[in-house]
Amino acid sequence: MEAFVCGSGLVRSKNRVDRRGVSDLRMSASRREFMFSIAGVAIVNGLPKEASANVNLMAAKRSYFRYVPRIEEGINYYMLALSPAVNAGDWGKVSQAFVKTSVAREGSEKALNDIDPKTTILEREFFVPMRTWSNSFAEKGTSPKSRAMLVKVDAFEKEMDKLKKATKNQNQADASASWELGRTVLNEYIDIANKGLSRELRKLENLPEDAKSFQKIAKRPDTTF
């Protein structure tokens, strides 16, 4: 072991000095990391609230214009096609709501190879967009508003399952009851979604009790979102 005489006249091993040197380097690195972390927090906290709000609004708009038009198309179908079919006991038309079909373009590669996903109109226009839009209100994974909306999506799916069963059994009373409860749940979903919605976004309209008074929802203009 190589030794040397330090200023105080004491003999110390070079190995000890090396270990101290490594320790000093580690302490120095730790101090640098700490200072950088403090600086990072200061930068984040120093961002203008307006900038953060603008980012959140843009995300809300993208989600809104991606899923709300599909939900409104579903509402048009629910009120203008499904309602009269249920009231008339036209089980053939009602059952179309539960038939899985493809939305792939005719002649497309997916259609030709029969690999295109097949879904029902209820899945395409209600279940999927309603659930996805609900999740867009989540904050760090979840939020009270998101959870409340998802509860209504589950409730609506259950009513549509009951409608499917009533259609299979051609039970007019049960079919009408399930359709009406579905309308009620949709309105509850809409009420939750509209609460706190940005003024820059048009609120969804409730489904009237009298289906005959329902006015078809106009298609929203195309956007860049």
What residue spans define the domains of the chain? Answer: 3-45, 67-213
Which pLDDT value is given to residue 9? Answer: 42
Report pLDDT for 108: 66
The confidence score (pLDDT) of residue 59 equals: 87
Q: How far apart are CA 100 and CA 123, in angstroms?
A: 9
The region that residue 176 occupies, defined by phi over 0 for left and psi between -120 and 50 for alpha, beta otherwise, is: alpha
Higher pLDDT pick, 93 / 6: 93
Architecture per CATH, domain 67-213, reads as: Up-down Bundle (1.20)
pLDDT for the residue 104 = 63
Beta bridge partners of 12: 4
Global model pTM greater than 0.95: no
**Rg, the chain, Cα only:** 31
More confident residue, 187 or 139: 187
* CB neighbour list of residue 132: distance below 8 Å, 6 or more residues apart: 63, 67
pLDDT, one tens digit per residue, over 112-159 is 566 678 899 999 999 999 999 999 998 777 899 999 999 999 999 999
Higher pLDDT among residues 15 and 213, named by residue? 213
Q: How far apart are the C-alpha atoms of 156 and 189, rounded to whole Å?
A: 9
Q: What is the mean pLDDT of the chain?
A: 80
DSSP letter string, 158-175 = HHHHHHHHHHHHT-HHHH
pLDDT score at 105: 64
| Neighbour tally for 89: CB within 10 Å | 14
Which of 71-80, 115-124, 131-140, 214-223 has the lowest average pLDDT? 214-223
180: its two tokens? 């009406």
Would the pLDDT of 193 be above 70? Answer: yes
